[in-house]
């Protein structure tokens, strides 16, 4: 009897063990959560990551700040017509934008490849190149034809310039496979009037075209694509690019000039020299472009900021929102002019003020998209670019500015 009880005991133990093992192997298992490289390396970076591809090695591939609950907000906008700002466009949203917003919910969203393949998005690249800048503008648009959204988008290349009658077919379409550049004539203006009037000129000549675009990208004439760019990498309701002189999460040029430890909130040292430690926002109340001192970098270290400084050479968005941005910047510039004021960095100051008011729907591209053209990157010691794995995608070209600011 004792032997029987002992056998029964071990039989029960074996059964329990077998049941436990079968439950383990048959139940669906998730791998243990893996620590995010992005979180461990950049705990206070929101979802902005300096690496263009793979997030500098963390595999996230993100290169923007997520606009908080933007999809939910815009879904409500589309559904009900209610908008948070009186002048923000009701639309019409393009079918691509509407599907993108409705299918992704809130939080970080990317433009799925299936939407590009389904809708074949209409995209425009636009630049202003009057006078001697025309040569640069043509080279920019030629590079866009090679590198931007090739074979996947219906592309429109738009040029505002002061002279078109001598442009050849080779200038407007150097390759039969390229989209043909569409030129329009604007007056040649001395700088800074040339840049202060660019949004007015864009809206005057290309509004009907831009309103139909799924995405519009403006670039200064002295930029150029040097690597392939997929639409997914830049698409957003509004888009800006971080200025390489003034990175949010690195010191940038801070301390290279002047007495950095004594830099005040306005960005000058105790001798009145600019130190590059603070963003060059327009701080004066006399301009529509004023940005409060609470935004920027905090002394005395200036390692990180609580906002971005945008380079004015590139911005974009969906067709209706790009036009909204240009109209807002143009109205702000004209309001300043009417009062006899000029913002510190002209339209770039107005762009910064506009995008900071719309950060919930603004995608921030890293400085790959406004990279200082070699050898300028090494001559000016942009160490933070190298340290963070930033590679050139769109370059800001080396040039003689004084020579180019003249009519043909």
Which of 158-172, 313-327, 349-363 has the lowest average pLDDT?
Answer: 349-363
Average pLDDT value for residue range 286-300: 85
Confidence of residue 300 (pLDDT cuts 50, 70, 90): confident
pLDDT computed for residue 70 by the predictor: 44
Most confident segment among 95-99, 335-339, 374-378: 335-339
Residue 310, Cα to own-chain centre: how many angstroms? Answer: 9
206 vs 101, which has greater pLDDT? 206
What residues does 268 pair with on adjacent strands? 274
In this structure, CATH architecture of domain 54-246+305-404: Alpha-Beta Complex (3.90)
The backbone torsions φ and ψ at residue 226, rounded to the nearest 5 degrees and listed phi first, read -125, 5
Which of 99-103, 147-151, 385-389 has the lowest average pLDDT?
Answer: 99-103
Confidence of residue 37 (pLDDT cuts 50, 70, 90): very low
Which of 54-58, 151-155, 309-313 has the lowest average pLDDT?
Answer: 54-58
pLDDT at 154 over 80: yes
Q: Is the peptide bond before 375 cis (omega within 30 degrees of 0)?
A: yes
pLDDT computed for residue 270 by the predictor: 79
Domain boundaries, the chain: 54-246+305-404
Instruction: Show Cβ contacts of residue 241 under 8 Å, excluding neighbours closer than 6 positions.
Output: 310, 311, 313, 314, 315, 364, 365, 366, 367, 369, 370
pLDDT computed for residue 403 by the predictor: 65
pLDDT computed for residue 221 by the predictor: 92
In whole angstroms, what is the distance from residue 25 CA to residue 23 CA? 6
- Give the residue carrying structure tokens 């001192």: 293
Which of 19-23, 320-324, 330-334, 369-373 has the lowest average pLDDT?
Answer: 19-23
C-alpha distances (whole Å) from 62 to each of 78, 221, 252, 319, 327 are 26, 27, 21, 23, 29
pLDDT at 16 over 60: no
Average pLDDT value for residue range 143-172: 94
Average pLDDT value for residue range 383-391: 82
pLDDT at 112 over 70: yes
Average pLDDT value for residue range 27-32: 32
pLDDT at 45 over 50: no
Most confident segment among 32-41, 48-57, 214-223: 214-223
In whole angstroms, what is the distance from residue 289 CA to residue 295 CA? 13
The structure's pTM equals 0.78
- What average pLDDT does the chain have? 75
pLDDT at 242 over 50: yes
């Amino acid at each position: 009897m004792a032997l029987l009880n002992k056998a029964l005991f071990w039989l029960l133990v074996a059964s329990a063990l077998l049941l436990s093992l079968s439950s383990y192997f048959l139940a669906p298992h998730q791998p243990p959560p893996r620590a995010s490289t992005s979180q461990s390396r950049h705990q206070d970076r929101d979802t902005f990551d300096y690496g263009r591809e793979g997030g500098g090695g963390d595999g996230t591939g993100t290169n923007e700040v997520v606009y908080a609950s933007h999809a939910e907000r815009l879904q409500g906008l589309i559904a009900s017509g209610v908008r948070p700002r009186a002048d923000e466009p009701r639309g019409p949203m393009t079918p691509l934008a509407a599907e993108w917003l409705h299918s992704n919910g809130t939080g970080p969203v990317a433009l799925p490849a299936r939407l590009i393949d389904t809708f074949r998005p209409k995209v425009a690249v636009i630049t202003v190149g009057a006078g001697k800048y025309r040569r640069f503008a043509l080279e920019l648009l030629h590079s866009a034809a090679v590198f931007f959204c090739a074979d996947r988008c219906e592309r429109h290349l738009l040029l505002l310039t002061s002279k078109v009658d001598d442009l050849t077919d080779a200038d407007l379409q150097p390759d039969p496979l390229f989209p043909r550049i569409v030129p329009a004539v604007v007056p040649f203006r001395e700088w800074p009037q040339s840049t202060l009037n660019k949004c007015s000129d864009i809206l005057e000549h290309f509004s009907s075209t831009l309103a139909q675009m799924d995405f519009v990208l403006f670039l200064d004439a002295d930029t150029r694509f040097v690597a392939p760019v997929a639409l997914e990498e830049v698409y957003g309701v509004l888009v800006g690019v971080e200025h390489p002189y003034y990175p949010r999460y690195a010191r940038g040029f801070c301390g290279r000039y002047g007495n950095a430890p004594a830099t005040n909130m306005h960005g000058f040292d105790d001798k009145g020299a600019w130190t590059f430690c603070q963003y060059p926002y327009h701080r004066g109340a006399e301009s529509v472009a004023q940005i409060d001192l609470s935004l920027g970098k905090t002394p005395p270290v200036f390692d990180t900021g609580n906002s971005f400084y945008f380079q004015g050479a590139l911005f974009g968005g969906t067709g209706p929102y790009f036009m909204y941005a240009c109209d807002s910047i143009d109205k702000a510039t004209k309001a300043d002019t009417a009062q006899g004021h000029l913002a510190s960095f002209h339209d770039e100051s107005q762009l910064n003020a506009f995008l900071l008011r719309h950060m919930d729907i603004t995608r921030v591209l890293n400085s790959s998209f406004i990279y200082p053209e070699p050898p300028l990157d090494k001559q000016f010691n942009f160490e933070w670019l190298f340290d963070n794995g930033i590679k050139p995608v769109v370059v800001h070209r080396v040039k003689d500015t004084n020579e180019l600011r003249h009519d043909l």
